[in-house]
Structure 1
Amino acid sequence: MTDSRTYHHGDLRRALLAAALEAIDEVGPAALSLRDLARRAGVSHAAPAHHFGDKAGLLTALAAQGFDLLAQALTAADGDPLEAGVAYVDFAVTRRAYFEVMFRPEFYRADDAELIAARARAGAVLRAGVAALPTGSAPVDPGRDALAAWSIAHGFATLWLAGVLPDRVGDNPRDAARTVLRRLAT
């Protein structure tokens, strides 16, 4: 009988990325090894290097995929800046392995064209959502406003993942984020 997790055919790249996400959830991106990744995917130890070159190549592909998934999550908020912030936090919590790689450029090749394009797509969706925020009497500065909104959502997500928020925020990250991020929309 064979292990059902052993790779046999199909999309090896996808199988390796899935195994990497599993490993990162368990040991974090710094401790990820291509040899362990090959073992998890049930392939030769040379297979990950054949597809990605090295660990940085693998993590670059993972970060690019993560930014594309983040762009999709933000797009699903349908232009509502509050819901985009909640979607951002939800992405960080439910896709933690991606999140842990995406914002750690020391792990990947930040000059990779695919990664740059994916990060730009996610940034464009974020900036579009911020354009809907009320400005009151403050002058509109889309770049500054997007940075402020991103900083708040990212900071909240990071604090949630670290487990350092006060107990009174509750145990549902979406609800807690919505309460905090609502301050942006007022």
Structure 2
Amino acid sequence: MTSTGTYHHGDLRRAVLTAALDVIRTEGPGALSLRDLARRAGVSHAAPAHHFKDRTGLLTAIAAEGYELFADALADAPDLRERGVRYVRFATGHPAHFQVMFQPELCREDDPDLVAAKLRASVELRTGVSTLPAARRGGDPRLTGTAAWSLAHGFATLLLSGNLGGAVGDRDPEEVFRSLAASMFEADGAG
């Protein structure tokens, strides 16, 4: 086989990740196959294993990339409500990452890149709670954080699965989320 044959690719890692994200977005993570992804990338069936070792390695890389993108999306949001909006925006903009990130059984949870990316995202989420006035944080900021996370994650998940059509209608989902967050986390609904 020549150097331009199926064994060589300009950026095989990215090509496999992109193909995997397409499969996950349309068919779900269960449909992933390294052999199919190699075919889509135009390389030998063994080539993706050089970057990811196996399917779990690929899903772990997707989750780590997702958490990095997620942390970037949350960074510099001015308050908890806007972090929630960015959470929803991330989920709708990166649905394949979002699916994999929150299914720990798909990944190697002890992978150093995944651990570091999750920690960075967690810090960004907790920072949002610290922007609340002390009276609104409640007795345990961790519980307040869990409530905020549950609201954003639940809203994003329901939105992605098409279960908020009646509640959201033709309104901007981000504006609907802002209203929900205001009613739950801001005194008298004030910003």
- Could you tell me the TM-score, scaled by structure 2's length? 0.86
Is 2:7–2:44's contact at 8 Å kept on the other side of the alignment? no
Report matched runs for 1:159-174 at 5 Å.
159-165=158-164, 167-171=166-170, 172-174=172-174
Which 5+ residue runs of structure 1 have no aligned equivalent? 1-5
Partner-residue secondary structure (3-state), 2:117: helix
Opposite residue 115 of structure 2, the aligned amino acid is: I
Q: Report the equivalent of 1:185.
A: 186
Q: Report the equivalent of 2:3.
A: none
User: What's the CA shift string for 1:44-92, capped at 9, x where partnerless?
Assistant: 1111112101100000000000000000000042x32111100001111
Structure showing greater Rg? 2
- CA shift, 1:142, in A, is 2.6
Opposite residue 162 of structure 1, the aligned amino acid is: S
Which 5+ residue runs of structure 2 have no aligned equivalent? 1-5
- CA shift, 1:115, in A, is 0.5
Residue 74 of structure 2 is aligned to residue 74 of structure 1: yes
Q: Which moved more, 1:97-106 or 1:175-184?
A: 175-184
* Partner Cα distance (1:114, 1:185) in 2: 35
Residue 119 of structure 2 is aligned to residue 130 of structure 1: no
Q: Report the equivalent of 1:49.
A: 49
Change (3 A) 1:104 1:138: closer
Report matched runs for 1:49-128 at 5 Å.
49-77=49-77, 79-128=78-127
- Could you tell me the TM-score, scaled by structure 1's length? 0.89
* Partner Cα distance (2:138, 2:145) in 1: 14
Q: Which moved more, 1:171-180 or 1:36-45?
A: 171-180
Opposite residue 179 of structure 2, the aligned amino acid is: T
* Partner Cα distance (1:178, 1:138) in 2: 18
Is 1:86–1:181's contact at 8 Å kept on the other side of the alignment? no
- CA shift, 1:138, in A, is 6.1
Opposite residue 169 of structure 2, the aligned amino acid is: G
For this pair of structures, how many residues does the alignment match?
A: 180
Across the aligned residues of Structure 1 and Structure 2, the Cα RMSD in angstroms comes to 1.9
* Partner Cα distance (1:145, 1:102) in 2: 22
* Partner Cα distance (2:136, 2:92) in 1: 34
Change (3 A) 1:53 1:137: closer
Percent identity over paired residues: 57
Opposite residue 19 of structure 2, the aligned amino acid is: A
Residue 36 of structure 2 is aligned to residue 25 of structure 1: no
- CA shift, 1:99, in A, is 0.2
Q: Report the equivalent of 1:145.
A: 144
